[in-house]
Chains A and B, each alone.
Chain A
Amino acid sequence: MNSLFSFFDKLQDYMKMAAAFCVAAMATITCSDVVLRATINHPIFGSEELVSVCALLAMSFALPYSHKKDVHIGVEILVRLFSKKTQSIIKVFTDIVSVILMAIVSWRIFIFAGSMAASGELSMNLQLPMYYCAYILGVCFVIFSIFILKDIIIFFKGAKEER
């Protein structure tokens, strides 16, 4: 189990780097488009599509990293009044609900990507097959769900060791 966790940690690191690259690419493509349009009146063809794809990839690859960094805001006001043990029990319940929700989202994204592929949907200017992006989003949601699941497993393993 530990080797599986370390594999996913490593994967999360690579995904984070890929996401950071995509954000940098978004800025570079957009700025180059503006400069080329203003100077030689020759904008980058399909730059909006490229930026949109980079944005999707950046946000998809950042999903496990954002979970690891616990960046998603929650209302702490009531929970922090409880003991540490009660807080962990509440957390594991919300994690179980979250993992079910994210599993449903992942499953539906794959079906959504499949329907895009079946209809042969392409982007307007560059004719990019957009279903690949949807599949990548689905895979990232699966990895994101595994990270939430990992928290649940760690909680139960900890509880077992305490007993």
Chain B
Amino acid sequence: MNPTSVGVIGILIMVAIFFTKMPVAYVMTMVGFIGFSILMSVDSALNFLPSNFYDSFISYDLSTIPLYVLMGQLAFNCGISRKLYNTGYTFLGNTRGGLAMATVASCTAFGAVCGSSPATAATMATVGMPEMRRFGYSDSLAAGSVASGGGLGMIMPPSVVLIIYGILTEQSIGALFVSGILPAILMTFLFIACVYITCKIDPTKGPKGEKFTLGQKIKSLTGLLDTLAVFVLVMSGLFFGFFTPTESAAVGVFGVLAVAVIRKELTWKAFVKSLYETLQTSSMILFLIAGAVVFSKFLAVTRIPFEVATWVSGFDLPPFMILAIIVGIYFMGGCFMDSLGLIMLTIPVFYPVILNLGYDPIWFGVIIVLVTEMGVITPPVGINVYVVYGVCQNVVGDISLEAIFKGIFPFLMATLLGIIIITIFPQIVLFLPNLLY
């Protein structure tokens, strides 16, 4: 049997084992290890297995991940998210659907200090859902805006998905971060437009909220200043070459801590909770990376990535059609698998194809994040939907999963529109990296 056939069988077996709920990281390690043993030798597979875990855990580049996760956890546990929401609420609350718009805007702002989509969704569900319930918003619009808005946290730098994409493809993490800013703003406007249109069609879905004076609005801006200060500190250092990504993350951690101490919102309990939650998320991500490295070594010896790249390049189709097929595969994969697992599994296969077609790798990174953003809200997996559902049970009581899934549909269309716009106008992604790098 040739290596490619072994690779295809390995992939099929791996997908089958995924459905047993065995952790994705373990499955990738196991299939990668067995496949490599078959194609090379058991001895060589046994030899590379420990070094993968050791190298992944001790990597200075990957130490960025726990630090950015800690920064987001501290921002959440020290109440920065609530202030962001209050600012959005004061400015937009009085318009129809304004609270949902405020939620979306707050999600983007919170994404500036938190690199995780489920964390952003959970945070904004905690602060936004009770308010939207109070003003009689429909469950579908309220929960849909929180779950979808959470996805914006993935595009707005710092983004864990972009860090991992950068490490896997050896692209500059700074350039990837800066490339995410304009698409994040574009997506925020598209989501706000989505809320506006939904409330225009059915005004009962998002009634007007409280009215605030100009003085109150100006005063509420202080809530935004904290986040803005940390974001500018972290990103400016990274963009102007003062910090490495790991250093920018550590500076961000202390930036958030400083804000929390000045505002007297830091408690020992919140600090320890943030550390423990950071351990959970980071451990999951780094184990996944180690598993993906084992699997990608197996894939490399099967020559599947090169075969796929050659095969796809041979299609008599325009590059954008091939891109559409790849996006479709990511979208379908995202319905069943977690975004990080999917990216680690597929990037070794599709990245050479994208390079062959002449697309910019930085631009493709943003497209990947947007597509996986669709994955986190689409059934049946849709992790953000389950996160919001779980939080809602605690903060506002009963809400149906169907209502949330119904609510995300307009935002899904907005994301698709965003992907089309960015494909037609790649300058939206590439303008800032070209300017700064």
Contacts and interface: CB of A to CB of B under 8 A. Distances in A.
Interface of A: 16, 19-20, 23-24, 26-31, 33-34, 38, 48, 51-56, 58-60, 62-63, 65-66, 69, 71-79, 90-91, 93-94, 97-98, 101-102, 104-105, 108-109, 111-112, 133-134, 137, 141
A72 B253 contact: no
B254 interface: yes
Interface string B334-346: 0011101100000
Contacts of A141: 53
Contacts, number: 178
A79 B19 contact: yes
B63 A55 contact: yes
A133 B11 CA distance: 33
Contacts of A24: 275
Interface in B19-33: 19-26, 29-30, 33
Nearest to B248: A34
A19 B23 CA distance: 22
B23 A79 contact: no
B50 A66 contact: no
B380 interface: yes
A72 B33 CA distance: 19
Contact of B57 (A27, A56, A94): A56
Contacts of B275: 20, 23-24
B49 A108 contact: yes
- Tell me the dominant secondary structure on chain A's binding face: helix
- Tell me the dominant secondary structure on chain B's binding face: helix
Contacts of A52: 58-60, 63
B332 to A, nearest CB: 13
Contacts of B282: 23, 58-59, 62
Given A30-B250, A98-B22, A51 B54 contact: no
Contacts of B54: 56, 109, 112, 133-134, 137
Given A34-B242, A59-B282, A105-B29, 19 more contacts: A26-B66, A26-B67, A26-B250, A27-B250, A30-B249, A52-B63, A55-B59, A55-B60, A55-B63, A55-B66, A59-B283, A74-B20, A74-B24, A75-B337, A79-B21, A108-B47, A108-B50, A109-B54, A134-B54
